[in-house]
Amino acid sequence: AQVVALHPIGRIAEPIEIAQAAIWLCSDASSFMLGAVIPVDGGYVAQ
């Protein structure tokens, strides 16, 4: 419960949500991405 309270989205990620981001980064759809940090954290670092 304490960890959930730290995330603005109000919950922690499901494993599939993390996997989908990783799959996208490995796909041709992300071919123009270079040197970016993409937080998949429910807004945790944006607070």
- Round to whole Å and give the CA distance between 9 and 29: 26
What total number of domains does the chain contain? 1
Give, in order, the Cα–Cα distances in Å from 1 to each of 7, 10, 22, 43. Answer: 11, 10, 26, 17
Residue 42 lies in a domain: no
Q: What is the pLDDT of residue 14?
A: 95
Structural domain of 13: 2-35
Residue 40 lies in a domain: no
Residue 41 lies in a domain: no
pTM for the model stands at 0.72
Q: What is the pLDDT along the chain (47 residues), one digit of tens a residue?
A: 788 888 899 898 999 999 999 999 999 999 999 999 999 998 988 87
Q: What is the pLDDT of residue 27?
A: 97
Residue 21 lies in a domain: yes
- Round to whole Å and give the CA distance between 30 and 33: 5
Residue 44 lies in a domain: no
